[in-house]
Structure 1
């Protein structure tokens, strides 16, 4: 298929993809989306057709902060700087492309799970908009505490000891303070919260039920609607077993690997 649809991009910290990441990146190519993977290291097993670019083209990735938090931590600022510089749609490396993103969509994000907050695993924004500017300013000029935190959250952070950076202390207080929490807060501040799509568009399966992707008897597609475009596989919540073992025959993960052409056995964790 010609790669003539809107470009998508993501970030990978490390030198090797797991099979679900290979699957998700290749799924976008299958639907005609050019895929760029910005990397901090030399990735040796990206699917054919994925363009590998150095992460430094977007921003420097301080590995000391990554090591003190998680590989996904700095992706929260990287994604908005990437969108602003390139105009590509951000996709997490565990977002499976079910259908192509329509060309006319300018605002791409949705609520997820069972709490009503917005997620930022798949994001499309105008390159110049107040929301993206506020998000980048938040990361570049961290406040003493995130504005939406309550007194208990602030006290929890104050109890932390050690010489860790301010950003790390915020992360250790609330892991999602740089992800969904920030995105939800600033979308409300800028009046863009109501532009969000319904969960079925980008996150049809609630995070709390992510084991269903590996269940041969699970009815994953029962969560889909005609509006479903992306299916988040939530690898951060995946049990360690599925990183080290092939998906069971007839499970959604197994079926999609077979359909897209990914051999899970070649990229187990």
Structure 2
């Protein structure tokens, strides 16, 4: 009988919701030794899941948070690389559900999210991995410019650097330390050959994520295959929808409801909290919106650079620009 690999994840930011409890418990129930690392005590760990000090892997000070969003995702990206170097565990995001045991015999465990992109929500690499060691070395420079970026993006960042204004990793556009970087280094080292098919961990795409909590979709028969080991729930977008519009739980008879019942998870005991939306920039100020829109229309800087400079989402910049072009500045409203 194959000994199942150990599973690990990281949690930053208070207690768990029922969705994280469900996912973590699913690995423990499948027979995996499952550890959740954190920088502070988590009092509502599900049964069978072990706790550990995240600082033993990678210090929490400084906490690498994305400048515009405040998200600790960058810190989690760096943390998981250090965890892979120091342990033999497989990393999983806390929103990955274990559909079948991860009974892999090799240490390289990851899969395609879609064509051309490996997601790092599931990531296992041996300590000797060329890709792993290259990533750790690359991110030692917190102002590094990603070779996987488009040429014009690299030039824009290099121009900033040459002007004495290097862009820190926490100020770069969303996902700088995530899947695109992982894919690049796996391709460069040749380890990309170990990538599992999309069905292994991402059988339901980001676009189709909400179908997993709707009862009219037969996820198991129509999406999952014999290759499926995990299911990514895409919590960053799914949790707000569940909390705001679905009474904080999946619909009865849906795939998520079935697995929630299977693992004896009570949503009322760990409700998904309301999403806190904070803006550093004055996004509700029409004058600010107009200023950003005008800068965008000048064409002297990309939307990505304006996003970094003004600390506002690229989608809002495009929206304000369109409104200005249409000659309707009075339509400027909170985004």
TM-score, shorter chain, exceeding 0.5: yes
* Paired residue secondary structure (1:109): strand
CA change 1:39–1:164 in 2 (3 A) is: farther
Is the CA contact (8 Å cut-off) linking 1:8 and 1:90 kept in structure 2?
yes
The equivalent of 1:166 in structure 2 is 168
The equivalent of 2:111 in structure 1 is 110
2: distance between equivalents of 1:211 and 1:116?
23
The equivalent of 1:10 in structure 2 is 9
**TM superposition shift of 1:194:** 1.9
CA change 1:243–1:34 in 2 (3 A) is: farther
TM-score, normalised via structure 2 length: 0.73
2: distance between equivalents of 1:154 and 1:218?
42
* Paired residue secondary structure (2:187): helix
Which 5+ residue runs of structure 1 have no aligned equivalent? none
The equivalent of 2:262 in structure 1 is 259
Which 5+ residue runs of structure 2 have no aligned equivalent? 274-335
2: distance between equivalents of 1:164 and 1:247?
45
Is the CA contact (8 Å cut-off) linking 1:14 and 1:40 kept in structure 2?
no
CA change 1:204–1:81 in 2 (3 A) is: same
CA change 1:144–1:67 in 2 (3 A) is: closer
2: distance between equivalents of 1:47 and 1:164?
43
Is the CA contact (8 Å cut-off) linking 1:28 and 1:97 kept in structure 2?
yes
Is the CA contact (8 Å cut-off) linking 1:15 and 1:44 kept in structure 2?
no
Query: Structure 1 residues 231-240 or 90-99, which shifts more?
Result: 231-240
The equivalent of 1:213 in structure 2 is 212
**TM superposition shift of 1:71:** 2.7
The higher relative CO (CA closer than 8 Å, separation ≥ 6) is in 1
TM-score, normalised via structure 1 length: 0.89
The equivalent of 1:19 in structure 2 is 18
**TM superposition shift of 1:198:** 0.5
The equivalent of 1:39 in structure 2 is 38
> What is the aligned-residue RMSD (CA, Å)?
2.1
2: distance between equivalents of 1:136 and 1:15?
28
**TM superposition shift of 1:141:** 2.3
CA change 1:260–1:143 in 2 (3 A) is: same
Aligned residues: 260
The equivalent of 2:295 in structure 1 is none
The equivalent of 2:94 in structure 1 is 93
